[in-house]
Structure 1
Amino acid sequence: MAWIDVTVNGPLAFLMLVHPPARRQDETAETIEADMRGLADALDLAPASAKIPDLGSRLRIRGRGTALLDVRGCDFMLKAPVGPLWCAFVAPGGPVVIALGLDPLGNGTEQAVEAYLAAGTRADRLLLGATHARPPGTRPPPLRRSRLR
């Protein structure tokens, strides 16, 4: 999920990473949380109660509606449909907060997302990081070994 919000510091783009409820037989709330914590570690995110870390330039904009998120230690980028307005704001350097939830989210309505964000922040189950888009034509920094095993 992606949106732009007006904050006390001006407009800010958000990219929310959440897992849907368990769909496969081997998925449980515990395995979903473990997977999401692994992704949060690879992205260097911090709990919502901590200072939001600056992740550096982790995004690339592709076309008019797609963002690619650089996951350190991986040979791939995470593709996210974000929409043309989000891309137009982020491409020239607009600030972005990555928000990763540890709990599954089934219903993506605005009210459900707002409740999810509030509950995740209160329970410290929302992990955050600040980033921005890499200018076109630049190469990402060298890969470092992932903390995932």
Structure 2
Amino acid sequence: MEQLTIRPLPGPGFIATLLTSTWLSAPADVDLVAWLCIAHTGPRRNGEDPESIETNLMDMVHALGLAPASENLPDTGGRLLVSRTGASLHYGHPMSVLRLPRTSRPWIVHAALGGSTVIALGLDPIPPGSGRDAIEEYLHRSSKAGRLYTGATRIRRRWT
């Protein structure tokens, strides 16, 4: 009989240290896609080290149902919460969500209308303030190294 492993979810203290970036892209052969990149900037809190950060990120990977970027894109279910003023990601914590600051109105509208949305969570650190080119390089490098996890998501209609 297979042993069930229950992984704890990181709380708001850790979530507040994450870097998020959102953008819309339209590759030549597919429709518009809303992207959400989640990464960290390295240890920032007392007692934090690269290993504890990676453990917390992997706990999020499991809770969200993400798969290595080299595999087929899994459906993670309804994870996005959107309003006129912003967006958040329900990552599975019973009392906390990951707020997505500076999310553009077109990104929110695309997601709210049921457009394709992809979560990309990287395990390696990325410098704060990284621009679009640096983020794209980060995604390619992390994917090649097997340290990027992805999944398709959509609007969450209910909190529970």
TM-score bracket, shorter-length normalisation:
0.7 to 0.9
SS in structure 2 opposite 1:90?
Answer: helix
* 1:1-149 correspondence runs (5 A): 1-7=21-27, 8-64=29-85, 66-81=86-101, 82-107=103-128, 108-134=130-156, 138-140=157-159, 142=160
Cα distance, 1:94 vs structure 2: 1.0
CA RMSD of aligned residues (A): 1.6
Q: Secondary structure at the match of 2:88?
A: strand
Q: Deviations over 1:89-119 (max 9, x none)?
A: 1111111000000111114112211110011
| Structure 1 segments unaligned to the other structure (5+ residues) | 143-149
Paired with 1:103 and 1:31, the residues of 2 have a C-alpha distance of: 12
Q: Measure the CA separation in 1 of the matches of 2:30 and 2:136.
A: 20
Residue of structure 1 in register with 2:6 after alignment: none
Deviations 1:68-87 (A, max 9, x none): 21222533222112121211
Find the aligned partners of 1:73 and 1:16 in 2 and give their Cα distance: 19
- Report % sequence identity: 36
Any gaps of 5 or more consecutive residues in structure 2?
Answer: 1-20
TM-score (norm 2): 0.78
Distance 1:55 1:110 in 2: 25
Q: Distance in 2 between matches of 1:68 and 1:24?
A: 23
Task: Tell me if structure 2 keeps the 8 A contact 1:97–1:131.
Answer: yes
Q: How many residues are paired up?
A: 137
